[in-house]
Amino acid sequence: MTDRREGSDPSRRVPGVRALGIDLGSKRVGIAVSDISGTIASALTTVHRSKSRRHDHAEIARLVEIEECTVVVVGLPLSLDGTHGPAARSATKEVRQMTSVLDVPIEMYDERFTTVTAERHMLEAGLDAKQRRLVVDKAAAAVMLQAWLDHRRSTWPGSTPSVVPGGAV
């Protein structure tokens, strides 16, 4: 008997990826990482900004190596209307600078509402303001990276979108 469950056909599986997610901030950089199958994103750490972007990027490169990542996904802070405002232009410029330090591909992914979503999850978990401040950057990176992983899985050639409650795909 042939197993016809979603994902059982090797030609329909999304290849695994180990991704590092980055939420750029002016004072802190939130870092998340996916599992080796490229399914689940988890908050990893926060890199505190130094006076040197080159130093910050070297720290990110070190994390890429330690975590054995094959791609880096950087949050793109688009304006609410989807345009590239000052924050998105700054992030794009920084990603261009990172390419000289990182030996893996870098992708940018829409990060609108990731901090808000992370804050909401932390409030639901009962974290107070001080506790939330300590982890919001890496939590936002995990939210963004999970969205990228989900999008990647749903748009992979041959993949079958999952139906979620309410009939949305």
Q: For residue range 51-84, what is the model confidence (pLDDT) as tens digits?
A: 999 999 999 999 999 999 999 999 999 888 888 9
Query: Between 163 and 25, whose confidence is greater?
Result: 25
Reported as a pLDDT band with limits 50, 70 and 90, residue 31 is: very high
**Res 49: pLDDT:** 96
Question: Which pTM value belongs to this model?
Answer: 0.79
How far apart CA 20 and CA 57 sit, in angstroms, is: 13
Instruction: Locate all alpha helices (DSSP H) within the chain, ordered by sequence.
Output: 53-66, 86-98, 114-124, 129-155
Q: Give the bridge partners for 100, in sequence order.
A: none
- Looking at residue 163, its pLDDT comes to 38
The closest of 77, 108, 73 to 90, measured between CA atoms, is 77
> Could you tell me the domains of the chain?
17-155 (3.30.420.140)
Which of the two residues, 25 and 167, has the higher pLDDT score?
25
Is the per-residue pLDDT at 151 higher than 60? Answer: yes
Q: How confident is the model at residue 12 (pLDDT cuts 50, 70, 90)?
A: low
The DSSP bridge pattern shows strands 19-23 and 28-34 to be: antiparallel
Residue 101 pLDDT greater than 70, yes or no? yes
Q: Looking at residue 65, what is its pLDDT?
A: 97
